[in-house]
Amino acid sequence: MTLSFIPLGIGDAFSALHYGACLAIEHREADESTWLLVDCPHPIRKMLREGGLAAGVPELDVGSFAGLVLTHLHADHASGLEGWGFFHHFALQRPALVATHPQVHRDLWQTLQPSMGVLLRGPERTPTEYGLEDYFDVRPFTDTTTIGPFTIRCRTTWHHIPTIALRIEAGGRALGYSADTAFDPALVEWLADCDLIVHETNLGGAHTPYDQLRELTPELRAKMRLIAFPDGFEPQHIEPLVQGQRVGVG
Ligand SMILES: [Zn+2]
């Protein structure tokens, strides 16, 4: 299995049962693994610990990852960024690589500055100003970027705030991820030739109603997995992801 992923969180923003949508993607070649994180809700280290244990990778931790791809700044996808950045700064002592769209990058420091913008340094505990680049190595992209063996393509979605859907390719396989989006046939078409498609579903508006996904062709539904759904959701026609249960791509 060269490309696979562990769903670390599968719930929506209001879930009392699951963590927010988050994928730990692994490319494995000749016993060498490279990990890529997609989105970063809080509490990300606990999510990595629990997801890793459930999937037989107990050592999975922040330092395991070559980088993070960020789809958008809603808290159920991005509330772990403060901890991710601080852990890189203090524990790993290197900036965290973050690939995202320029419109997400534009607003990123605005959300983090109040809690990360000043640190007390030295024996005098001198208040010292910090910037985004002290914690993160942000790589804005509008079309394609690469992290290790992963080629990552993006496309903006219909959502409340700037958001990107993803095609992540490695080892000759392609994983598609809708991220948060209103139902968008053009986006489904963009994802259609991926080996596996992770698609959100929720109550409509800026999300995708399940009734629209169940109308897709049997071929598409067979390779589609659902994420970011409400508690108690039990679809009949498309398989939902299970938190901590690894999925092979292709
Ligand atoms: Zn959202």
Residue range 205-228: mean pLDDT, rounded: 96
* Statement: residue 211 has pLDDT above 70: yes
Ligand 1 center–CA 74 separation, angstroms? 5
* Statement: residue 216 has pLDDT above 90: yes
Ligand 1 center–CA 72 separation, angstroms? 7
Tens digits of per-residue pLDDT, 138-192? 999 999 999 999 999 999 999 999 999 999 999 999 999 999 999 999 999 999 9
Query: What pTM was estimated for this model as a whole?
Result: 0.97
Ligand 1 center–CA 167 separation, angstroms? 18
Residue range 98-126: mean pLDDT, rounded: 98
Ligand 1 center–CA 43 separation, angstroms? 17
- Within 8 A by CB and 6+ apart from 243, the residues are 7, 8, 9, 10, 11, 18, 19, 51, 54
Distances from the Cα of 94 to the Cαs of 56, 70, 87, 102, 133, in angstroms? 27, 18, 9, 22, 11
Query: Whole-angstrom Cα distance, residue 216 to residue 101?
Result: 28
Ligand 1 center–CA 22 separation, angstroms? 12
Ligand 1 center–CA 235 separation, angstroms? 21
Ligand 1 center–CA 160 separation, angstroms? 7
Helix (H, G, I), strand (E, B) or coil at 198: strand
* Statement: residue 204 has pLDDT above 90: no
Ligand 1 center–CA 23 separation, angstroms? 15
Ligand 1 center–CA 9 separation, angstroms? 14
* Residue 215 pLDDT grade (very low, low, confident, very high; cuts 50, 70, 90): very high
* Statement: residue 64 has pLDDT above 80: yes
The pLDDT assigned to 26 comes to 98
Ligand 1 center–CA 21 separation, angstroms? 10
Ligand 1 center–CA 129 separation, angstroms? 30
* Statement: residue 203 has pLDDT above 90: no
Ligand 1 center–CA 124 separation, angstroms? 42
The pLDDT assigned to 1 comes to 62
Write down all domains in the chain, each with its CATH number in brackets. Answer: 3-112+131-248 (3.60.15.10)
Among residues 167, 161, 157, 243, the alpha carbon closest in space to that of 208 is found at 157
Average pLDDT across the chain, whole number: 97
Among residues 179, 178, 180, 176, the alpha carbon closest in space to that of 160 is found at 180
The pLDDT assigned to 93 comes to 98
Residue 13 tokens, joined: 């923003």
Main-chain dihedrals φ then ψ at residue 29, nearest 5 degrees: -145, 120
The pLDDT assigned to 56 comes to 97
